[in-house]
Structure 1
């Protein structure tokens, strides 16, 4: 039915032309050729006559490095102006409306228009008191939404709009120009503390935009590729240059929304809508209630006999009571309260509607480094190599500290031969093979966190000599080394290399990278004798270290001897890294955060599957997954990787520290065969065997057709998959069936992470938690994104926290579930209000009677508003429940709850009238006759005994509805902890009980209950009132119920309350619910937690 409503909505939007974005834009003409263009979302679109379309204006400088280097002389003024005329000013304008206009935009939404139209009915029917109070509540909810929206947009505006003065090379001269006038092809100067205004490449100088140093573009025979090796030369818009050398300059590649930052801003400002079943079914409920309101309009017109405006406004009043205009307002209030509670817990929310989605999260994905584990790595030690007596290469014992290397190694500093033992060579490599640089002003060391930890462990000192070379001083060895050439880390090669010159003029080459890459490099350099190039147990040792959670890098070495530095500097990277020898392993540990395991256990107990998506090694991911309790104990883990082990297996683990937000392509390989290996025993399985193992352990078909049926173990298994294997399985169409058996996604690029999250989202409400670096795409894609960051990336995510604790994710789900349960409580309360009022309408239409004016005011201005607000004040549960709250408004649980209460209340009201008609002593000769009454004067229709019965029964029902839907059950705290609602329920129950049980008094006469004309009251034996009473609109002049009947009626109303409580607490939320949930389970996603 929901799908049909969506289809109907789509057809209606198509018919009305609302399926396309229509905007009125001013068309401009370029100065030089009068070509037409317009600006849309900070992007210029130019009329392409040969295609008949407007296309985004771009200037492509190409990818040939010699061509880019030839542009170092800059543009002339005429070319710059022509290009500025082509692409427009380098400025992203974020238009944040003023508060009044934003409020107007909010109030012109469909539901607000409905609400405001309904309010006119109240004013027309002399019901201005309720019109004023409802207007106040509706305006308050609109203001809350507008304030949240404007705060978010101002944050984006402050991030996006940046203009300053910069030195630009124009006409072979340096001039001062605004960054807004930069165009592709411009050459601009770089200085310390400058914000990079464009995406560009570094042409000259040494620049450190935190935390990675950039190196000038050089012609190495390859094309410039931003997605691969070109990143080390690329300057990204919005990054801050911490330090720049004298004369540093860059080339502008892209501007405006064509930059990485511009694309980010566009995705923030114009996100893809996310569908949620609660909102979709709310539309269906709205349609059903509208039809119900039209039916009531017809019944009212027939029974009241009214025509024209009176019938119309009575019908609109029915619509107002069937679809209460306060419902969306209270949903917003409930969400804003949840947002406020999250704020107190250190979780910031910029999209209130996502709070409800957080309540239905089924799968929570986590990055590893900095999320599950502590921020940085800790140096753990090194394994140097040595030669056995037989001459074979072998690992020496673990050297936990640099002092161990210093003591075990030996070199004669007076010797000029360059012969250095491996321990000292490894120490030299640790001190030099990195991208660490020192800021001149403060002396602060900056660089990749792994490099920083490694360099600091050597206790070396860094300086720059007169020739501009980095000089490394090793106080423990009383030695120093010059770095004469450096090739920075490349993701495609998963390595970096340096050439260093010692004090005797000998040049040494060190290469550091992933152990897989160094293994390939060394074997390639020693292909004639591969057995002597590496320790025989290399694979076994590295695999065990990874299984133990070590972050393993390897080091290779080459001795060039006394060689001219300028010759080495002219070599290509391949030439420098040829003929390498294996030197040793470098180990780091990334320890689990103290509260990670407990938080993961809470999520799993809360029926939430937890998954790791990381750029790190698969075995390391498995180790951390076991430590963090993601992987269940005593479960076999199979690691899937491509069969071709000599191909690069994805990004280097340093991806976890990538600050540039590089958007790489989905990892694919020419080798499509995926082989699965037991993480503990190294036993190998084929793809078909793994599929049958999953079938045997789960007993559920995977939707695949394995090639062969083989007997396999039925032991429970979990899968871990590398990025290349993931890409291959996606391409083969075999990843989806394995998705919910895969616990660890390793060696994943940023795009891999995003694709993985999208696949999970196809079948489950998905949350993603990361540090906001290379997780931006996944955070933005997920239904619920949580960024553990205060940086700009957190603007992309609906939720962010500076706490950097997984416990924040638990808090988010607790508050999300409480918020969703509260939203349903508000919905059910207003549904009960509307349907109780519908029952009232049937009786008032039939008898042509009504509540008194003050009773209507009591219901609409006090009971409804205060009770509905108090329902939202229920506190969240202390811990995650074992189930998620329903999100289906039309689900069995919600329908049975509401329909059951409506049925109970309606029959109790019918029973009260049947009872009334049995009372010949005071009623049968005083039945209400409205034939002489104008039905438009509704305030004169409440002076009868029929109105008394209606009032005393339904007033309790209105008050009790708030109490009934206050039950916290699993997601909110116990009902008795909502002190505000209990106070309001007690207050109103006491007031109504006093009106009902007490003899005629000023308070009761004010609302025209149990009262009458003064003379009539005296004739009935009551004292003459000393206060004014407006004459009663009945021949007998009173509606005082006999005292015994009053007490019996009060007891009857209390029985109504008890039966309603029994239904809600004992049936809907009690053992029958648990039985039905188990016996008649709906088709839910079945996953291993």
Structure 2
């Protein structure tokens, strides 16, 4: 589970760093040793004090910078560990020490540190830190089953020091603690800076409104965080609230002891009550059987049967042996025991290392995912800061040239930052995601990681499990195909009355019911077909032994008569025909089969029955018992979409007793068996499957089926639901035996139904292969992996680990991969996928970030629609907020040139009314009705995104400059008389730019409210329409005919004032013109009198003067 990288090299001296890789939680950390330095700490505090304490805020939000108080040292002597996780995050953790007295632990002093609820302990002999989970990674099943008496109290106390308490409690912080953490957030620090700046600039109204909104937002965030912590705390529960019964070794044997569940440690032996319980830890079943509801963890709605494993040297793992493991948080519905024996389970994991703890850790520390949109958003904000720096430089130059006061220069310069980088940007960005999450919740789709909704918008490859996902959960019985002779199958049987009750085939069908009439759908249908009765163990049916837990018998035997017994020996008729189950071997994905040891009442010989994949069962049977048409009949049914189960049996040695049956190895039983026949089940498609598959295909989404079922059945279902298109050829890749030990296994390809594949166009074929072929290609033909990943569509007989391998390999092709399953055996794949969807009745599952309570794949379509809507909405809001900042930025710089600024109420209206309402209304857009081939853009810095933005910014700036030039062209206009500290609000420059920019905000909102193809038309967004209409009317009133009180409140000039000024200017011009005309007439008259005697040739137009 853990690989210690330094062990690969020769350690010279004491190492100062180490890399720890954990395959359990897919976490890689890099640790460095540090120790406290008084000199460095003093220097750091001195610098912080000299800078008015500002660095303390950075240290609070970036704890990694606290490492400057330390100096590097060896890990052996380190007091602090600097942890760098796989995502580049830095954290410093204290090294704790405690006395430890364990026989298998060489050191009497335990050194460890905690990171994300994982405990890493120091091994002095190796000179490394390891995850404490690694101490038990080499334990074998045989070793775990040896000690069934548990541990004593002293060992328990010491192991608690080593492993910690069995607690997964989530801390619920006080409001004051949450408030302090929230205040140190850069967003709120920027808000505080802005409020202080506006207050110094006498923007009291705006500063007050922002302060009240910030307080309201902060309180809402605190409340939501508190409620989330409370919900997680309730989900985690408290192990200290109840007690459990454990075994303690004594001199006389062992005794039961009641302890608090929080004090359980690995090695404790639990005594499970008959009426069930909620598991407080992960434990391996030692004796007895349990029926467990695991829906809370895996999403598997069907209760599962758990039983003890066979004692073997195989290394135990909770995932590989989950059929023998009781997971923390699951509900043990019922326990069964043999005779007076108790149902025992050995604790293997506690605390946050349990399955329940892993679920909580996945919620508390969600796996980061690199998404281009968020990366580009950060780059764009940095770019906006650069623009702000240019604007700050220009404003400094402008005010210095004017000779303004230093205070005015500082205020106007810093004001540029609050304009270019709006404080409302983070809130506006999350609006679309929040609305999408609410809509998903109404559709019974729950999400534990809201940012992943945006990733759904770029879903390119979608993988599906088959049973319970594409097809119905339950199976319908179709027929039984018995073996009539040693050479061929007989006719299929659809009625149980045609089979003898004593037939081994009917006995095999009757015994694969999981202990009670609740369990695997396949087992239920098999048992219903037999029409037999299942009896619980009791005083009246313990003729075999006190150890027999379950009895099955024909329904007619309960009434005292039995049909179809013509061939039965009459001497045995005195004994009722009943069969007891002595031992059950549970189904496993690796073996693809399960078996039971049975005994007919009155018969001295036990019989072993097995069911499973036909190929696996055939491998267990004597070849002479296999019919000649085995493969042809199997292919006939599987190619038509039926699920085929192989059945076989074996009579055991007469000398075998019950004790021997409990100890015998499964491998000794599953050989030289006699084949019985096929059980054929029908697994019909869910009604929604075909339509959703068709719509996903039309959206150019690549679809893949990955299942543990037979490859022929999988291909048939893929054809039936149109996952494989009618025009596509399905090419099956199989593998054979290598000719020599050193040669690679050969690969064969054939077009299903046509034989050898001809040369096909790339888009005319898809590939199908089994899990063993996948393993061969990964190992021996890595050069073919790109082809398999590009053209593979049907993957059958895939184990849980192979499903995860497929998802990971597809992600390596740089595509967004989704996985949809029921969480039964595909938890790893669901967790590994970018978009994992678990079909479960629970609200949250350890299996996936998304959980759909609707048990069909319609949720995939809904998630894709909401994802595209959320992604396009996030793009629109981000661009709108960026344009809003630049519009205000340009208008402010232009006003600075004309000795003017925006008024307080104008800032208030633009920032808190107009743009905020428009941004929130943009987020209200609903998803489009259909999935289209076109997908939303994902990059903010792509040319297709940048070019329209540049054009829009250019037009915005051009219109603002043109409006000022047009204003200056008016004959009545009087510019503001400048001065070093003149900043006039009520002027025509201010009014014109305020009205123009207000219309620009409205127009840009209309531009980015475009609906098709990812959102509904913006006319259907009623919030948007109401906002646009009301704000447009308001701005138009301000432009044309504002009431005087409104004009005074908004600090704008009214158009009536402009009309009067223009009229006065016109009258003044007429008066000046008339005065000039009179003066010219007098001069002409005087000239005419003085020169009357002299004749002149005067032009006619001058004579008129």
Fold conserved between structures, TM > 0.5:
yes
| Cα distance in 1 for residues equivalent to 2:879 and 2:643 | 53
Q: Is the 8 A contact 2:446 2:844 kept in 1?
A: no
| Cα distance in 2 for residues equivalent to 1:195 and 1:579 | 42
Q: Counterpart in 1 of 2:153?
A: 77
Q: Counterpart in 2 of 1:518?
A: 617
1:446-525 residue pairs with structure 2 within 5 A? 446-463=518-535, 464=537, 465-466=541-542, 467=545, 468-469=547-548, 470-475=550-555, 478=562, 479-505=577-603, 507-522=606-621, 525=622
| Cα distance in 2 for residues equivalent to 1:91 and 1:429 | 44
Q: Counterpart in 2 of 1:875?
A: 926
The TM-score, its normalising length taken from structure 2, stands at: 0.78
Q: CA 1:125 to 1:605, structure 2 compared with 1: closer, same or farther past 3 Å?
A: farther
Per the TM alignment, residue 284 of structure 1 is displaced from its structure 2 partner at its CA by 0.9
Q: CA 1:491 to 1:828, structure 2 compared with 1: closer, same or farther past 3 Å?
A: closer
1:446-491 Cα distance to aligned partner (Å, 9 max, x none): 3333222222232221123322322111125734322234333343
Per the TM alignment, residue 632 of structure 1 is displaced from its structure 2 partner at its CA by 1.2
Q: Is the 8 A contact 2:245 2:257 kept in 1?
A: yes
Q: CA 1:922 to 1:618, structure 2 compared with 1: closer, same or farther past 3 Å?
A: same
| Cα distance in 1 for residues equivalent to 2:507 and 2:956 | 84
Task: Give the alignment's Cα RMSD to 1 decimal.
Answer: 3.3
From 307, 312, 330, give the equivalent of 1:215: 307
From 898, 912, 918, give the equivalent of 2:963: 912
Q: CA 1:108 to 1:721, structure 2 compared with 1: closer, same or farther past 3 Å?
A: farther
From 433, 438, 446, give the equivalent of 1:348: 446
Per the TM alignment, residue 584 of structure 1 is displaced from its structure 2 partner at its CA by 0.5
1:49-198 residue pairs with structure 2 within 5 A? 49-57=124-132, 59-60=135-136, 63=139, 67-102=143-178, 104-135=180-211, 153-163=229-239, 164-170=242-248, 171=250, 172-191=254-273, 192-198=275-281
Q: Is the 8 A contact 1:547 1:679 kept in 2?
A: no
Per the TM alignment, residue 218 of structure 1 is displaced from its structure 2 partner at its CA by 4.5
Q: Is the 8 A contact 1:380 1:588 kept in 2?
A: yes
Higher deviation after alignment, 167-176 or 720-729: 720-729
From 602, 621, 626, give the equivalent of 1:534: 626
| Number of aligned residues | 924
Q: Counterpart in 2 of 1:620?
A: 713
**Greater Cα radius of gyration, structure 1 or 2:** 2
Q: Does 1:746 align with 2:796?
A: yes
Q: Counterpart in 1 of 2:343?
A: 248
| Cα distance in 2 for residues equivalent to 1:577 and 1:981 | 69
Q: Does 1:27 align with 2:96?
A: yes
Q: CA 1:754 to 1:134, structure 2 compared with 1: closer, same or farther past 3 Å?
A: farther
The TM-score, its normalising length taken from structure 1, stands at: 0.79
* Structure 1: tracts of 5 or more residues without a match: 1-9, 412-419, 439-444, 527-531, 647-668, 699-714, 1023-1035, 1037-1089
Q: Does 1:784 align with 2:827?
A: no
Q: Is the 8 A contact 1:485 1:568 kept in 2?
A: no
Higher deviation after alignment, 509-518 or 236-245: 236-245
Q: Is the 8 A contact 1:619 1:679 kept in 2?
A: no
1:68-92 Cα distance to aligned partner (Å, 9 max, x none): 4431223233333333333222223
| Cα distance in 1 for residues equivalent to 2:94 and 2:115 | 8
Q: CA 1:303 to 1:513, structure 2 compared with 1: closer, same or farther past 3 Å?
A: same
Per the TM alignment, residue 241 of structure 1 is displaced from its structure 2 partner at its CA by 1.9
Q: Counterpart in 2 of 1:930?
A: 978
1:617-652 Cα distance to aligned partner (Å, 9 max, x none): 222221222222221113111223432499xxxxxx
Paired residue secondary structure (1:988) = helix
Q: Counterpart in 1 of 2:121?
A: 46
Per the TM alignment, residue 308 of structure 1 is displaced from its structure 2 partner at its CA by 3.0
Paired residue secondary structure (1:633) = coil
Per the TM alignment, residue 533 of structure 1 is displaced from its structure 2 partner at its CA by 2.7
Q: Does 1:760 align with 2:851?
A: no
Per the TM alignment, residue 332 of structure 1 is displaced from its structure 2 partner at its CA by 1.5
Per the TM alignment, residue 187 of structure 1 is displaced from its structure 2 partner at its CA by 2.0
| Cα distance in 2 for residues equivalent to 1:856 and 1:112 | 20
Q: Is the 8 A contact 1:185 1:252 kept in 2?
A: yes
Paired residue secondary structure (2:631) = helix
Q: Is the 8 A contact 1:822 1:874 kept in 2?
A: yes
Paired residue secondary structure (1:437) = coil
Q: Counterpart in 2 of 1:416?
A: none
Q: Is the 8 A contact 1:226 1:234 kept in 2?
A: no
1:209-358 residue pairs with structure 2 within 5 A? 209-210=292-293, 211-219=303-311, 222-223=313-314, 225-226=316-317, 230-244=321-335, 245=337, 247-305=342-400, 306=404, 308-358=406-456
1:783-835 Cα distance to aligned partner (Å, 9 max, x none): 22222213376255322121122112211111111111111121121122111
Per the TM alignment, residue 160 of structure 1 is displaced from its structure 2 partner at its CA by 3.7
Q: Is the 8 A contact 1:460 1:472 kept in 2?
A: yes
Q: Is the 8 A contact 1:149 1:350 kept in 2?
A: no
Per the TM alignment, residue 555 of structure 1 is displaced from its structure 2 partner at its CA by 0.7
| Cα distance in 2 for residues equivalent to 1:481 and 1:559 | 14
From 770, 773, 777, give the equivalent of 1:722: 770
Q: Is the 8 A contact 2:179 2:222 kept in 1?
A: yes
Q: CA 1:379 to 1:323, structure 2 compared with 1: closer, same or farther past 3 Å?
A: same
Per the TM alignment, residue 26 of structure 1 is displaced from its structure 2 partner at its CA by 6.3
Q: CA 1:20 to 1:965, structure 2 compared with 1: closer, same or farther past 3 Å?
A: closer
Q: CA 1:142 to 1:20, structure 2 compared with 1: closer, same or farther past 3 Å?
A: same
1:322-348 Cα distance to aligned partner (Å, 9 max, x none): 111111111122211111111122212
Q: CA 1:874 to 1:486, structure 2 compared with 1: closer, same or farther past 3 Å?
A: closer
Q: CA 1:379 to 1:298, structure 2 compared with 1: closer, same or farther past 3 Å?
A: same
1:399-410 residue pairs with structure 2 within 5 A? 399-400=493-494, 404-407=495-498, 409-410=499-500
From 677, 680, 704, give the equivalent of 1:584: 677
Paired residue secondary structure (2:845) = helix
Paired residue secondary structure (2:798) = coil
Q: CA 1:34 to 1:566, structure 2 compared with 1: closer, same or farther past 3 Å?
A: closer
Q: CA 1:13 to 1:460, structure 2 compared with 1: closer, same or farther past 3 Å?
A: farther
Q: CA 1:461 to 1:957, structure 2 compared with 1: closer, same or farther past 3 Å?
A: same
| Cα distance in 1 for residues equivalent to 2:822 and 2:214 | 38
| Cα distance in 2 for residues equivalent to 1:142 and 1:425 | 71
Q: Does 1:425 align with 2:504?
A: yes
Q: CA 1:45 to 1:596, structure 2 compared with 1: closer, same or farther past 3 Å?
A: same
| Cα distance in 2 for residues equivalent to 1:781 and 1:145 | 30
1:853-892 residue pairs with structure 2 within 5 A? 853-892=904-943
Q: Does 1:681 align with 2:757?
A: no
Higher deviation after alignment, 459-468 or 279-288: 459-468
From 455, 458, 461, give the equivalent of 1:360: 458
Per the TM alignment, residue 539 of structure 1 is displaced from its structure 2 partner at its CA by 0.9
Q: CA 1:199 to 1:870, structure 2 compared with 1: closer, same or farther past 3 Å?
A: closer
Per the TM alignment, residue 267 of structure 1 is displaced from its structure 2 partner at its CA by 3.8
| Cα distance in 2 for residues equivalent to 1:792 and 1:985 | 38
| Cα distance in 2 for residues equivalent to 1:277 and 1:142 | 29
| Cα distance in 2 for residues equivalent to 1:230 and 1:978 | 53
Q: Is the 8 A contact 2:714 2:794 kept in 1?
A: yes
Paired residue secondary structure (2:855) = coil
Q: Is the 8 A contact 1:42 1:93 kept in 2?
A: no
| Cα distance in 2 for residues equivalent to 1:140 and 1:810 | 37
Q: Counterpart in 1 of 2:1002?
A: 959
